[in-house]
Amino acid sequence: MKSQNVNSVLGAGSMFVILAGCGASNLPAGSPGASPTPTPTSTSAPAPSSSAAAASTPEATGPALGELYAKAGTIQIRDRRATMSGTAKSDVLTLTLEDVGLYTGHTCGCDTAGFLITKNVLGVLFPGQTPSRSALTVSISEFNPDLIDTIAFITGVRLNRGEYTGGKSDFVVDKSIAGAEGTTTLVFERKDNGKRVKAVIYRRALLTKDEMRVASVVKDRILKGLASDEEKEEFARTTQAIVRKEITALPEGAFVYTPLN
C-alpha cells in the first residue's frame, strides 16, 4: 500500500486539534458522492513544507469570506428521508463549507479540514457515484469535536450511536489508530464492500510556529477571559488565514492518505 498526498487529490484542505478556532479535546484520558476528484498520486511521508512557513495575513470578513468558502467546492450526498418526508423533491443534497459553519456555529481550520477530507475520501470510495448518508463507518484517533461534527453532518454517521441502539457504533474514537505526535488519523470504510481509506493530518506541515502559538496560547487566554481585544482580533485573523491556506494553498504533506485495501 502506498501513502498518497492529499494535495494531489483535494487541491486543498487540512487540520488538527490545535488549529486556531478548533474545539479542544475534552475526552478523559484512557477513554475509548462528492465532487469530481483527481486521481491520487503516490508520495513519501510528509516533511514540513516551505508553504507552511508563510506568516498569517489579515483576512477579510463578510462577503469576502463567503467567496473564499465557496472555493472549497460542494459535496453531494443522498438522503432518502428528504423525499420520504416531503421535505424536498430530490434526495440528493448539495452541501457547502458554509452549510457546515451553520451546523457548527463557525468556520475554522478543523471544519474546513473535515469538509475537504470528507469530500476527497467520498470521491475515492464512491467514484462516479453519489453516496448515501450512513453508508460509512469512521474512526478517529482522538476526540476533536469540530472534525467529528463536520464529518457527521455530511455523512450522517454519528459518534457512539451504537451505545444507545444496541448495535455497533458507526463513528468511534479509536486511540489504537493514532500515529506520530502532532498527527490526527481518520479511517473511513464503506459498509457494503469494506473498502477503506486512511487520512492522516500533519499539523507541522500545515501551521507556522506563530499560528501554533496563537492556536494554543492566545486561544487559552480567550477561553479563560484574559485576552485583550487585540489578542481576540489576532486569533480571528489567524483562524481565517489557516482556512484560506487550506482551501487555496495547502502545504505539501499537510494531508496524506492511504488506501487500506
DSSP result, 151-192: HHHHH-PPBTTHHHHSS--SEEE-GGG--STTEEEEEEEETT
Query: What pLDDT is recorded for position 79?
Result: 95
pLDDT at 36: 38
Q: Say if residues 99 and 81 touch (Cβ distance below 8 Å).
A: no
Q: Please report the pLDDT score of residue 55 as a whole number.
A: 40
Distances (CA, A) of 213 to 207, 218, 235: 10, 7, 10
Q: Residue 61's pLDDT is what? A: 57
Per-residue pLDDT of the chain (261 residues; tens, 9 = 90+): 444 433 333 333 333 333 545 654 433 333 334 333 333 433 334 444 444 544 444 455 566 899 999 999 999 999 999 999 999 999 999 999 999 999 999 999 999 999 999 999 999 999 999 999 989 999 999 999 999 999 999 999 998 776 677 778 899 999 999 999 999 999 999 999 999 999 999 999 999 999 999 999 999 999 999 999 999 999 999 999 999 999 999 999 999 889 999
How many angstroms separate the CA atoms of 105 and 198, rounded? Answer: 27
Rounded Cα distance between 136 and 169, Å, is 11
Determine the 3-state secondary structure of 58 from DSSP.
coil
> Which are the contacts of 224, defined by CB distance < 8 A and separation ≥ 6?
none
pLDDT at site 40: 41
Query: According to the model, what pLDDT value does residue 161 have?
Result: 73
Residue with cell 500545515: 206
- Round to whole Å and give the CA distance between 238 and 230: 12
- The reported pLDDT for the residue numbered 54 is 43
What is the pTM assigned to this prediction? 0.79
- Give the pLDDT confidence score for residue 49 in this predicted structure: 47
Whole-number Å distance between alpha carbons of 104 and 149: 7
